[in-house]
Structure 1
Amino acid sequence: MNSSTLTTNWEQLADLALNGHQLTYEQALSVLQADDDQLLPLLQAAFRVRRHYYGKRVKLNMIINAKSGLCPEDCGYCSQSIVSTAPVQKYSLLDKETLLAGACEAMNRQAGTYCIVASGRRPSGRELEQVIEAVQEIRATMPLKICACLGLLNDEQASQLATAGVHRYNHNLNTSRDHYDNITTTHSYEQREQTVEHVKQSGMSPCSGFIAGMGETDEQLVRLAFALRKLDADSIPVNFLNPIAGTPLEHQGRTPAMRGLRIVALLRLICPTKEIRVAGGRELNLRTLQPLALYAANSIFVGDYLTTPGQEATLDYQMIEDLGFEIEQNALAGDVPPVSACT
């Protein structure tokens, strides 16, 4: 379908999304293949949907790289993988005091969710206990939501994390099913789906997204977006590949900024009610057009990522203010903790 035939139809796609109807495959593909001069009308349609469900609020999240490197998986995008020669820090799981200090920093940065992320295939029993101990203390002393990202989980591990007070668990699909073997071979797409299902069954909020720019086609991106809709994750991180020297994807070019914005708009129209987070790689790929992403997305990370830097938090605050948007207040802010670990 020629994108020019849809010049006046973006609002119709917004109507479909707002009325609970799924876009057709052809309509979704037309979003990715729209001409650049259609970007503003497309973002306006996506903004109608975003504003309906989230107003002008922007949710802030902060990551701590709780365990770095030492990973046996061969994910082609990752500087921490066993096949990477990138010079990244390598260390075992951080101790409780360091994880608590990270939570304090998340509070200082106005983040509503603190994300504890560890490299590796899946957590060991000892690592799981360490995370649980830290989470329990954070929950007792700070009004923060906790997201964990520790790799593959079984149902028992998911239940343990949920009981400890973890609100959300992240495990990305990363790419489409039919492109997956080009990116990772040491675990399967199906195993990732299974982990998200264990998360859902445990009562934790499921978080699952992807990395754009890994050589996938438009058609594969559309199929991935529909897979995420079917998975029914509450939060969808939209990452853009940061091609790190020493990784198998180091020569992959960056995603053009206007294409990146079309990808974010696509996710808002296909998953209208979900938290859409512009995540890793936004600074490198969207560059000066970063603010426009918030007309479709309602969430960002503030601060650094795992092994790559983010922009200064003050620039994120300024971006939100200049848009006339506002930082979402922590949903747990009304809970007065008996003790503050940050004082």
Structure 2
Amino acid sequence: MFNNFQALADRQLSGATLTRQDALAVLTSSDDMMLDLVAAAARLRRAHFANTVKVNYLVNLKSGLCPEDCTYCSQRLGSAAQILKYTWIKPEEALAQATTGIKAGASRVCLVASGKGPTDRDVDRVAGMVEGLKEQHPGVEVCACLGILKEGQAEKLKACGVDAYNHNLNTSEEMYKEICSTHEFADRVRTVEHAKAAGLSPCSGLIVGMGESDEDLIDAIFALRDLGSDSIPVNFLMPFEGTPLEGTWLLTPARCLRILATVRFACPDVEIRMAGGREMHLRTLQPLALNIANSLFLGDYLTSEGQPGQDDLAMIADAGFTVLGSQPDNDSSAPAATSHDMPDAETRPGAPLTIRRRGAGTEFAANA
């Protein structure tokens, strides 16, 4: 057992493997140790990623209409959430949406489609989109997220220029059967392994705040570590009305920071993304979280709206970080960020959840 968080950081920087006992100590640490915890986790983050933040941009190619019954999802079978529902957008719209994010600073575009998994025709459709995107933006990374892959599909995605594949484990194997009955935890693991074997960078992460125990969280984090995920998005449950988990508010900003720190200590050199739900759960502690996470989604999510893209970029700059791939800003005349009172630690809803009504699948401009 470590003596303090700095000692734990020393151990991780020397190549140690985080133990379950140490992970539990991080996850259950007290609020009065929060700044010490963040400072120690920040040493690992800066050792591997300096002061850069990787900006990712989501394009929802197909929204809703999913036959799966994942309890957390607004696109699930039987969902009454009033989200946008549309079938595949046209390639030119996908390219236009991706370009919006790239111009705003995104170095990775994530192409996502709802459903259990793609048909071979769907893979061909996405391949054409990727080829067009790479032709116009050869330096951008493309991550596909299309569900459970069948034999040969990962290889085809790799061949057309896809760089990474996202398929989240979401929670522990033990808890998985409580959140989904239409596929199994092992199906998700197998898809990530197929993607990795095909040469795609494995992207797999979590959804927290669904009622999981500390042991479930540690199981899930260690499963991601064992899987060799290069990128770990940490999503904070967005409890959409019309889903089984509506009204579920189990996270505080401090709890979110501890979860991010646990992932960072377990996977010191991995891209950790503070993903969906960060605005409503981290709230004013989002800039502090950037000292642990080194990645975020810019602007909107798949079916809900995020904070304005320009606010994301301002937050990155105000916190003393730079967007990965951007030119450093040496303008010392820029105004300093202002401080805000921290929110109460009690569990309560934060920012309202707003259904996405702009961007992909609509006639309105995207948020970036």
Give your verdict on TM over 0.5: yes
Q: Structure 1 stretches (4+) deviating beyond 4 angstroms?
A: none
Identify the match of residue 242 of structure 1 among 226, 238, 242: 238
Identify the match of residue 297 of structure 2 among 291, 295, 301: 301
Residues 81-101 of structure 1 deviation map (CA, whole Å, 9 limit, x = unaligned): 003111112111111101110
Q: Does 2:135 align with 1:119? A: no
Matched residue, 2:173 = 177
Whether the 8 Å contact between 1:65 and 1:117 is mirrored in structure 2 is yes
- Distance (whole Å) between structure 1 residues aligned to residue 55 and residue 19 of structure 2: 32
Q: Does 2:228 align with 1:232? A: yes
Secondary structure of 1:203's counterpart equals coil
Q: Does 2:29 align with 1:34? A: yes
Secondary structure of 1:154's counterpart equals coil
Secondary structure of 2:218's counterpart equals helix
Matched residue, 2:148 = 152
Residues 155-195 of structure 1 deviation map (CA, whole Å, 9 limit, x = unaligned): 40000000000001000000101000110110000000000
**Cα distance, 1:141 vs. partner?**
1.6
Secondary structure of 1:191's counterpart equals helix
Secondary structure of 2:65's counterpart equals coil
Residues 17-56 of structure 1 deviation map (CA, whole Å, 9 limit, x = unaligned): 1111111111100111000011100000000000000000
Secondary structure of 2:112's counterpart equals strand
Whether the 8 Å contact between 2:264 and 2:292 is mirrored in structure 1 is yes
- Distance (whole Å) between structure 1 residues aligned to residue 104 and residue 113 of structure 2: 21
Whether the 8 Å contact between 1:243 and 1:254 is mirrored in structure 2 is no
Matched residue, 2:197 = 201
Residues 195-236 of structure 1 deviation map (CA, whole Å, 9 limit, x = unaligned): 000000000100000100001001110111111100001000
Matched residue, 2:266 = 270
Whether the 8 Å contact between 2:211 and 2:250 is mirrored in structure 1 is no
Output the amino acid matched with 1:157. Answer: Q
Superposed CA RMSD in Å reads 1.1
Residues 215-265 of structure 1 deviation map (CA, whole Å, 9 limit, x = unaligned): 100111011111110000100000000100000111211410000000001
Matched residue, 1:49 = 44
Matched residue, 1:9 = 4
Output the amino acid matched with 1:62. Answer: Y
**Cα distance, 1:154 vs. partner?**
2.3
Identify the match of residue 214 of structure 1 among 210, 218, 222: 210
Residues 55-111 of structure 1 deviation map (CA, whole Å, 9 limit, x = unaligned): 000000000111011100000000100031111121111111011101211212100
Output the amino acid matched with 1:211. Answer: I
Residues 101-147 of structure 1 deviation map (CA, whole Å, 9 limit, x = unaligned): 01211212100000100000001222111110010111112121101
Name the structure with the higher helix share.
1
- Distance (whole Å) between structure 2 residues aligned to residue 83 and residue 268 of structure 1: 36
Q: Does 2:55 align with 1:70? A: no
Identify the match of residue 313 of structure 1 among 309, 312, 334: 309
Whether the 8 Å contact between 1:49 and 1:272 is mirrored in structure 2 is yes
Output the amino acid matched with 2:232. Answer: I
- Distance (whole Å) between structure 2 residues aligned to residue 12 and residue 155 of structure 1: 45
Secondary structure of 2:215's counterpart equals helix
- Distance (whole Å) between structure 2 residues aligned to residue 193 and residue 176 of structure 1: 11
- Distance (whole Å) between structure 1 residues aligned to residue 285 and residue 322 of structure 2: 18
Q: Does 2:252 align with 1:260? A: no
Which structure 1 segments of 5+ residues have no match?
331-343
Aligned residue pairs, count: 325
- Distance (whole Å) between structure 1 residues aligned to residue 192 and residue 11 of structure 2: 27
Whether the 8 Å contact between 1:70 and 1:120 is mirrored in structure 2 is yes
Output the amino acid matched with 1:188. Answer: E
- Distance (whole Å) between structure 2 residues aligned to residue 104 and residue 222 of structure 1: 37
Q: Aligned runs of 1:314-329 on 2, under 5 Å?
A: 314-329=310-325
Whether the 8 Å contact between 2:210 and 2:250 is mirrored in structure 1 is no
Secondary structure of 2:181's counterpart equals coil
- Distance (whole Å) between structure 2 residues aligned to residue 42 and residue 225 of structure 1: 18
Identity %: 50
Matched residue, 1:341 = none
Output the amino acid matched with 1:105. Answer: T
Output the amino acid matched with 2:85. Answer: K
Matched residue, 1:167 = 163
Secondary structure of 2:152's counterpart equals helix
Q: Does 2:48 align with 1:80? A: no
Whether the 8 Å contact between 1:95 and 1:130 is mirrored in structure 2 is no
